[in-house]
Chains A and B, each alone.
Chain A
């Protein structure tokens, strides 16, 4: 057997190697090749997605920092800004669910405080296979425990999220992590290494062999089964180290002791040290002898590509070094000078040069088992490359084509089969109870009670509602409404419409809190980009998202692309997840909840059509074809504006977005929240469970009904009175009739019962 060439073992193609040779005018050293392989990986370089991402709208007057930095930043008034980012940690979580999820949380938090923002909220959109499966329950339990274990201990509350269960994620769960931070405008910093002679100080954990090649091996290659052999590529999180890093870094920035800080994430020191300098046209020298190593015998390749967690790089002037080191010592945070800014636009790596040249700082003690470094080490660089070439990876215009069976799938409307089974007037109480106990619809308190969602005294509305609401105590009464949503089943049938629907749902959820949407971040989870239909899905999703964002005036301020999500030999359903940040100008009282109030009239805003393609009900019956609901952007915008205004004015006594499971499920959730029954007429099963978009249900005191109908007419939003809230039975004429107790039990007990089963390891 001939040995695999080094570049291929590192995940690079022959063409990519050739590009490196062209760039350098010579064969790369092992270290150089290793650095290019991680920096040019799909995960770091966005080489398959960049050409499409530029079609997204990114600008608005309130956007302070758009895509391409550690996090997007928007102005929310009163001199305060918020920094937001979302990222995936899918593959590590498939291999090792607890640590995969935990380190996902740790990574996203570092992105936020690297901007000078204090992280104040996390949200986690999650996807798993069916909870009937023992391994899925193990993954689910592990991921939730990892988020809880890390997030709670690091001291950033997890205020919301979502969990969706579908067969297509069986081997490849999706763990997306959203983080938001708050900062005064003047503390906003961008990671920039400027000023020749300035120093790069590595803060935090020592550098070990964990996570080597994580970006290139785990996140950027075909991912068949959850592969035990890849477990060493998953890092281990230490929330205590991260908590100390947060406090130390924010103090450094507050005291003006650092020019910038950058987190070490994918591609480790290679990426952090080169990116900060490349952005200013400067160069950077790094000395591996200055890096504190966790294990003996670590090679420069390992040091430069390690993805050990809880590390940051601070750029400081030599004058401030002493103060920086003292501050870090107070927080028990390790700090060593590992780099020096140059003016030669090159990224050079040495081993032992800094001591010889008298660069400030000292070599840290070697790990047990390593001999002390010889001060007269080689002055020749181990790597010497043009610095911008590392971040300037290849750009692929990958071929794309719709799947061959697209037309057949779309023309197979599940409504035909369902209509045949459930003719008008057929009782569908059993169907309703099955939907309420579907893990996609059922109560998610089993998850959210494991998360601290209250720290910092900002959480006005926590997990489990249409949107979470955070008051911004630094402002004069402003608050944020935050929602994360993804509609993968719709995207599987029509990715463009599905992406529009995800944006609309998140924006609608925010509107239900009385907020106007300000910005959006996306986490784009897809299959293998080397498959033409996956790239077609990606391209369509970008177009659909761009259309919806443009119509709603929503800039996309950041995002993340995760390719190579594959399970059981098939690509996952295209799963763009969006997070929408909305602003409430003046929050004086708690926003209205979802509960029905006894004696209230129930009004639906929006139009219900027989739209069952991709719906929870059709999927429950194994019907996965058809087309998704219509996503009319203009109607949606008018609905959102009307709903936000009504909520701000305090008109409804209850409000709930209509989504998974349709009107029937929405009404039941409102009844359960209010502990009160209802009597409505919403047609037969097909309209009860239709998932037509842009609908909102209101609970209204009788004297408010006419006001709402008039306002809706003025706004051009369809509105209909469907019944009233009363009693202890949930009744829809000619459709279902169930007791409040039975509905509540089905909805509340579903996930705890499933998780009480023995978890397989």
Chain B
């Protein structure tokens, strides 16, 4: 059965076509979920892609979280369905309360578009089930607000429950504990700042993102363990 991935599109989203292209390159099918939709149309997994939803006005993700589609995404997540937020999508998932913490401005106070080396910290997530713990992945980052922060209790829980999915080998943005990606307690909702879809072809310089995109497809159809 082909995996069906819904890719959320807010006004200002700009990575939706890139994500769709890579999903299709891997044999999945992908469709746009416009922000005004109130149902997901039966997709197996949801990707909230990168961009500048609603211009990032007010605060990244602050307006997008109120879109009708986000209610449907939250229901999908609550049912254990895979949801992955990439870059701006990670920010939206944090604003929507589907993931803990927040993303603030990079420590250098500049936008950063460059390669980053990531270390896979767990394979028990909708984003990393095909990867290997300790594996290094060369995947670009592209953000101004990618500096992950959370309160000490949350950080302690993320560590204790193995919810840090990816860490930077060389922290580019000041993220707490070198965090590049985290998952929820149910391990079906994952957010990461780097762009795996941009590391999808040797011609572009790296294919290291494919294992993450494949993991999303592999997670399709599996209802992961329910949130605790």
Contacts and interface: CB of A to CB of B under 8 A. Distances in A.
The answer to whether A and B interact is yes
Interface of A: 148-149, 152-153, 155, 238-241, 243-244, 247, 330-332, 448-457, 459-460, 471, 587, 589-590
B198 A240 contact: no
Interface stretch (B14-22, B69-77, B146-154, B174-182): B14-22
A460 B204 CA distance: 5
Nearest to A239: B55
Interface stretch (B94-102, B107-115, B158-166): B107-115
B18 A331 contact: no
Contacts, number: 84
Contacts of A587: 203
Contacts of A590: 202-203, 205
Residue with the highest number of chain B CB atoms closer than 10 Å, among A448, A449, A454, A590:
A454
Contacts of A331: 11
B111 A148 contact: yes
Contact of B113 (A452, A456, A457, A460): A452
B113 A449 contact: yes
A449 B52 CA distance: 18
A149 B57 CA distance: 12
B52 A153 contact: yes
A240 B112 CA distance: 20
A155 B14 contact: yes
Given A152-B142, A243-B12, A457-B204, 7 more contacts: A149-B111, A155-B12, A239-B55, A243-B11, A448-B113, A587-B203, A590-B203
17 contacts: A149-B111, A152-B111, A152-B142, A153-B12, A239-B52, A240-B54, A243-B14, A331-B11, A332-B11, A449-B113, A450-B110, A450-B112, A450-B113, A451-B113, A457-B201, A460-B204, A589-B202
B117 to A, nearest CB: 16
Contacts of B198: 454, 457
Which range contains the number of B residues in contact with the other chain? 20 to 34
A454 B200 CA distance: 12
Contact of A456 (B17, B36, B114): B17
A239 B114 CA distance: 22
Nearest to B53: A240
Nearest to B22: A457
B52 A459 contact: no
Nearest to B200: A457
B82 interface: no
A247 B15 CA distance: 13
B140 interface: yes
A452 B55 CA distance: 15
B44 interface: no
B124 interface: no
B208 interface: no
Given A240-B52, A332-B11, A457 B18 contact: yes
Q: Which of A243, A331, A450, A452 counts the most B-chain CB atoms under 10 A from its CB? A: A452
Contacts of A457: 18, 21-22, 197-198, 200-201, 204
A252 to B, nearest CB: 16
Given A240-B11, A240-B54, A453 B203 contact: no
Contact of B112 (A239, A449, A454): A449
A240 B203 contact: no
B80 interface: no
B113 A153 contact: no
B66 to A, nearest CB: 14
A33 to B, nearest CB: 38
